[in-house]
Amino acid sequence: MDFNLSEEQEALQDMARDFLSERWPRERVREQLDARPALVDDDVWQEIVEMGWLGVAASEEAGGIGGDIMTAAVLCREAGRGVLPGPFQSSLVAAIALERSGDKELVSGLLSELIEGKTRVSVAIDESAGLYGGASVAAHASESSSGWLLSGSKFLVPDANEADVLLVAAQTPDGPGLVRVSTEAEGVTINRMDRMDGQSCAEVVFENAPVEGSALVGGKDRGASLLHDVYDIATVLLAADLLGSAEASLELTRLYAIEREQFGKPIGSFQAVSHRLANTLVDVEIGISLLYGACLALDEGRDNAGPLVSGAKAWLSDAAVDAAETALQIHGGVGFTWEYDVHLHMRRSRCNAALQGDADHHRDRVAAYMSEDWVPQIKS
């Protein structure tokens, strides 16, 4: 029984936190907000690549460091805390998808290139509004004389505009799964959109776009389960990012409540303020616990991994937004200024709360699990 981060994970966490606070100052985030899309500076990105962050959950054969989902989540939490924009998280999700494909060629080829920063890859799963995950995919690849051709459209694809290759969820002659499509290929249209926090995403339309290799990533047998797993992993990493946002909002506000005086006292001594922050702390602690639980369940392949992932995403979507709103209110006037960081966390958490299933979507998923699997095995 040891339900805490390992020493290595804690060291990685400290290192990432220090790196981002030093190399990715909030002034740059603000500038990026004005100069959309917000992308990390090339030199900082190069350092991130060199530190091996993209290979954190990839095997050593691919140039990775062989960590698990929990370790990947450590980095995403710091990315959220440090307001690091794309393409870090989208690249990390793509790397995990390629690693888990078990396809030696992809691992030694595309994955190595991704980890070395030579090729950018993003994963495109969600489609129209309100339908999330692999189960509701309508895009389809059909057989043709020149191989598989993909048609359909993907919505809110992270960093698609900057990607070289997309891993696209589709129905195929071999069943549902992910297929590879070059963003340069004929029949691929990328309509860039900026998020409220400045990050880049896109609507991507495929019209008979050629599928590389004319096969599912992971092959016919593993294609569907890979798609399912990748979506859960992407979702839990987004939850980790939300946790980082929530913690950042809380810490900013905690320090402000200690320092700022009104009526001759620090405002943190007033219960209207301190109790609201105590509530945020409770939300954050429960959020950390849910995140760890979901990551461990994924890493150990437990049956209840899916609902735990949904639980973490639902909880942290609400918690991060609440933390940001609390931060703004308690900062008062200065919290509403461009120069304070409060709005940076609010923007990011608001975006991430809505992506890959909002809190209600994930509660619905938990409710379905409860009636089908959980209630029958609970003794009452």
Cα 268 off chain centre by: 33
User: C-alpha angle with apex 264: 263 to 268, nearest 5 degrees?
Assistant: 80
Residue 286 makes contact with other proteins by CB under 8 A: yes
Query: Where in 139-178 is the site for other proteins (CB under 8 A)?
Result: none
Q: Which CA distances in Å does 165 have to 40, 79, 176, 234?
A: 19, 23, 19, 17
Minimum distance, C-beta of residue 159 to other proteins, in the bound complex (Å): 30
Answer left, alpha or beta for residue 175, where phi above 0 means left and psi between -120 and 50 means alpha.
Answer: left
Residue 375 makes contact with other proteins by CB under 8 A: yes
Which has the closest alpha carbon to 193: 156, 152, 165? Answer: 156
CB 121 within 8 A of CB 110: yes
Candidate residues 289, 332, 336, 337; the one interacting with other proteins per rule CB under 8 A: 289
Residue 1 makes contact with other proteins by CB under 8 A: yes
Residue 370 makes contact with other proteins by CB under 8 A: yes
Q: Interface mask (CB under 8 A) for other proteins, residues 238-267, using x and -?
A: ----------------x--xx------xx-
Residue 292 makes contact with other proteins by CB under 8 A: yes
* Alpha-carbon gap, residue 238 to 229, rounded angstroms: 14
What H or E segment, with its residue span, contains residue 16? helix 7-23
Question: Which residue number, 215 or 246, has a Cβ lying nearer to other proteins?
Answer: 246
Which has the closest alpha carbon to 131: 361, 364, 370? Answer: 361
Question: To which residue do tokens 């990011």 refer?
Answer: 348
Residue 290 makes contact with other proteins by CB under 8 A: yes
Minimum distance, C-beta of residue 307 to other proteins, in the bound complex (Å): 8
Question: Which residue number, 145 or 380, has a Cβ lying nearer to other proteins?
Answer: 380
Q: By CB under 8 A, which span of 49-57, 111-119, 231-239, 270-278 interacts with other proteins?
A: 270-278
Residue 10 makes contact with other proteins by CB under 8 A: no
* Alpha-carbon gap, residue 230 to 100, rounded angstroms: 9
Candidate residues 207, 285, 336, 337; the one interacting with other proteins per rule CB under 8 A: 285
CB 239 within 8 A of CB 305: no
Candidate residues 125, 242, 308, 342; the one interacting with other proteins per rule CB under 8 A: 308
Minimum distance, C-beta of residue 155 to other proteins, in the bound complex (Å): 23
Residue 70 makes contact with other proteins by CB under 8 A: yes
Candidate residues 87, 218, 306, 311; the one interacting with other proteins per rule CB under 8 A: 311
* Alpha-carbon gap, residue 287 to 249, rounded angstroms: 14
Q: Which two tokens stand for residue 100?
A: 């888990």
Binding site for other proteins (CB under 8 A): 1-6, 9, 70, 254, 257-258, 265-266, 268-271, 274-275, 277-279, 281-282, 285-290, 292-293, 296, 299, 307-308, 310-311, 314-315, 360, 363-364, 366-367, 370-371, 374-375, 378-380
